Structure 1
Amino acid sequence: MGKNTDFQFKTGVIGFPILFVLIIWVVFWFEIRFNVDLNTFGIRPRDIVGLRGILFSPFIHSDITHLWHNTLPLFILSSALFFFYWQRAWNILVFGLLCTGILTWIMGRNAYHIGASGLIYMLFGFLFLKGILAKHIRLIALSFATVFVYGSMVWYILPVDPQISWEGHLSGLLVGILLAIVFRKKIAKPKLYDWQRPDYNPEEDEFLQHFDEDGNFIENIPEDEDQQDIQVIYEYKEHNGNKKTDD
């Protein structure tokens, strides 16, 4: 494996997320400015024409509230993806987008499903589970931070609101979990200690050599150490302040 390029800040770490957010805002502006309704380009389950929504639906939003609620999570989670999983970021985004859309098309209600929330749930599921599976301290910290900030989103994979595409949310979460399990290569690995390596030999461990077979601490003294000249220097002060040194 080549040099690990994760955990390194690059312009793309925030550049690509900004681009994603800019696109969905420009699309929304276009709808308002020219009075165009693009909802029909969303995912229409089990409709052949509705398959186009797999690509277009993440960029279409019903109103400003819908758009705003998706903007910040999309920016934060995609930035985290590019910073912590740079080598796999585009794979996760492309496969996540396609698989989430296809699963929504299969299991969704007969309506137009729009918005970037499916992609957001995919990112949430991947970032949370992948950190736990990778066992890397930084990725585990990211997992806990993700669930701490956005853990409440889990409620919306249930049909709590008829206006919300819970099918898209559930699809995204399931796809994110699946991708976290499938993608294993080019993921940052935790640092291995000597005793964790497969070729580790306890008899060659310098630390363990300080203990006998009963676990008692011993000190290994070099054979020629007793042949070294030892010089002890005593230093004291007399009451009159004169300083003397004896060898």
Structure 2
Amino acid sequence: MGELARRAQAGLVTVVGLVAVMWAVFVLNALLGNLLVMTLGIAPRRVDGLDGVVFAPLLHGGIAHLASNTLPLLVLGFLAFLEGARRFALAVGISWVASGIGTWLFGGGLTIGASGVVFGLFTYLVARGFYNRDWKQILLAVLLFSVYGSILWGILPTVGSNISWQAHLFGALGGVLAAFLLKRKRPAPGGTDRFGLGS
């Protein structure tokens, strides 16, 4: 099996596993009478709500909310994983933390959901090709933008909505930051970048 095929297989297992955890947490939360959402969501500017930075992306308020994040996470997560497990983990981690901290600092109320991570993966995949000057990644970015680009409206404040534009905005900024931090060094001997992660 070739390297790309191995990464594809591992990526599929990883993103399906992540989504499965979210669905399992959703069921558990329902059985507990919404206890997990109330205690582990991001409560902005409250010390006891800071743990939500870690847990909030695993929590969702309803089937529609979780379902709306499931397909984008599967698609974008799988595509990000094709570049390697460590790059995937860093892209997800940076988006996850940036979205959570930004929401904790500037959010308006209890916040849950993986949409900040979705926005982060999207902007990571769109931005990395331009940082890397890789025409294949740029072509993928154009394709992704044509399919998912409209989600970027979600980074703008919406009057009367309970959707956290802060989570979206800071997740998206986290994805751009991840693309910058993980950009490939100009051709170097050995085929590894400055992080030693490979191409």
Shorter-chain TM-score bucket reads: 0.7 to 0.9
- The range that moved more, 9-18 or 72-81, is 9-18
Change (3 A) 1:187 1:43: farther
Change (3 A) 1:6 1:171: farther
Contact 2:95–2:172, Cα closer than 8 Å, also in 1:
no
2:124 pairs with one of 101, 123, 126: 126
Alpha-carbon spacing, 1:89–1:188, altered in 2? closer, same or farther (3 Å): farther
- 2:25: which partner in 1? 27
Task: Check whether the contact 1:88–1:186 (CA below 8 A) recurs between aligned residues.
Answer: no
Q: How far is 1:169 from its partner?
A: 0.4
* Map of 1:84 onto structure 2: 83
What is the 5 A alignment of 1:86-165? 86-109=85-108, 111-160=109-158, 162-165=161-164
Letter aligned with residue 96 of structure 1: S
Which AA in structure 2 matches 1:29?
A: V
Same amino acid, percent of matched pairs: 33
In the superposition, the TM-score normalised over structure 2's length comes to 0.84
Give the letter for the 1:130 counterpart.
R
Match of 1:58 in 2: 57
In structure 2, distance between residues paired with 1:159 and 1:10: 36
**8 Å Cα contact 2:56/2:113 also seen in 1:** yes
Compared CA separation, residues 105 and 187, structure 1 to 2 (3 A): farther
SS in 2 for 1:84: coil
Q: CA deviation at 1:139?
A: 0.9
Please give the per-residue CA displacement for 1:52-104, whole angstroms capped at 9, x wherever unaligned: 00111001101111011001001111001001354411122222212221121
Q: Aligned partners of 2:180, 2:162: CA distance in 1, in Å?
A: 31
Residue 38 of structure 1: SS of its match in structure 2? helix
Q: How many residues align?
A: 184
1:8 Cα deviation after fit: 5.7
Q: Which has the higher contact order (CA 8 A, sep 6+)?
A: 2
Q: Which amino acid aligns with 1:70?
A: N
Paired amino acid for 2:182: F
Secondary structure in 1 aligned to 2:82?
helix
- 2 CA distance for matches of 1:22 and 1:188? 39
Q: Distance in 2 between matches of 1:187 and 1:145?
A: 25
After TM superposition, give the deviation of residue 176 of structure 1 in Å: 1.0
Q: How many angstroms apart in 2 are the aligned matches of 1:14 and 1:61? A: 22
Contact 1:44 1:53 in 2 (8 A): yes
Partner secondary structure for residue 151 of structure 2: helix
Shift of 1:179: 1.7
Higher helix share: 2
